[in-house]
Amino acid sequence: MTEQLAARAKSGDSEAFAKLFCEVQDELYRVAYLYVRNSEDAKDIVQETAYRCFKSIKRLRQCEYFRTWAVKTAMNCALDMLRKNRRTQPFDDYQVPVETVSSPENAVLASVTLEKLMNSLNEREKSVLLLKYMYEMSFDEIAKTLKLPIGTVKTILYRAVDKMKKENSYET
C-alpha cells in the first residue's frame, strides 16, 4: 500500500503524497520537537519537510525508504531552522502528559530520558543517536547519511551514550 502511494506520489499525485506523509507526520513532528523544543517551530518543520519531500519525491529511488528519507529531511529542516534562528525555546513549554505515565518510576524515566535527549545532547549527537537506535542504521549508513567519517560517527555516539549514562547515574 505504502509503495503504491509512493509510486503515485512520485507521479505528482498530491493526495497520494498526503496520505503517505500522514503515516509519518507524527513521528516527524516528534523528531523535530527534539531539536527545536517548541510546538510551533516543530509544526513549521513538518510543513517544510512536506514541502521538500513532495518537491523531490521523484528522486526517491526506493519507495520503502520513504520513512527514513522523510526523517532525514526533517532533521535537516530542524538543523536549518536552528542555524537560522540561533535560538531555542525553553524546555518549560513542554509537559509530560499524565496519560502517558503509568507509574512514578516510569514518569521519572520517561521525562528524564526525553529531557536528556533534548537538553544534554547537541544536534549532531541527537542525529547520530536517533539514526542508530531509533532507525537502526549501521555506522556506515549513518556516516553516509550525515556525511561524516565513520570513526567520527562512532565517537559521537560513544560520547552521546556516555553523556546520557553519566546523567542517568548522576540523577539516580
Partner 1 sequence: MKREIEKALQTIPVPELENSVRAGIARAERNGITMTRSVKKIAAISAAVVVICAVAVITVMNSRISVEKVLNEPVADFSPIVYNDATEDISLQLCGISDTNLVVRAAVNDAENSRLCGLSAVSVGNFTVVDKDGNVVADDEGLAGTYQIDTVVYKLDKDGNVIEGLEELHEYLDRAGKEFKALCDALEKGYKLHVSSLNGTDEDGNPIEIYGDWESELVINTVLDGSAFVADDGDVRVEFMTKDDGSQDLVITMNDTSKYPYSDVVTIWPTVYFTFDEDGNMMGATQGPPSSRAVRGGSFGKIFKTEEDGQITIVNAEYGHYTMRIYDLGIELANGERYELQGFWEASFDGNREPLKEGETDEQYESWKKEYDAWVEEYESSMSGH
Q: For the residues of 90-104, what is the DSSP string, one character each?
A: -GGG----GGG--SH
Task: Show the cell assigned to 148.
Answer: 561524516
> How far apart (Å, rounded) are the C-alpha atoms in residues 130 and 78?
14
Q: Which of 9, 30, 31 is nearest to 20 (CA)?
A: 9
Site string for partner 1, 127-156 (x = CB under 8 A): --xx--xx-x--------xxxxxxxx-xx-
Kindly identify the residues of this chain, within the stretch 71-90, that bind partner 1 according to CB under 8 A: 72-73, 75-76, 80, 83-84
> How far apart (Å, rounded) are the C-alpha atoms in residues 20 and 77?
19
If one asks whether residue 35 binds partner 1 (CB under 8 A), the answer comes out as no
Residues that bind partner 1 (CB under 8 A): 14, 17-18, 21-22, 25-27, 29-31, 33-34, 39-41, 43-44, 46-52, 54-56, 59, 69, 72-73, 75-76, 80, 83-84, 94, 96-97, 100-101, 109-111, 113-114, 117, 129-130, 133-134, 136, 145-152, 154-155, 158, 161-162, 164-165, 168-169
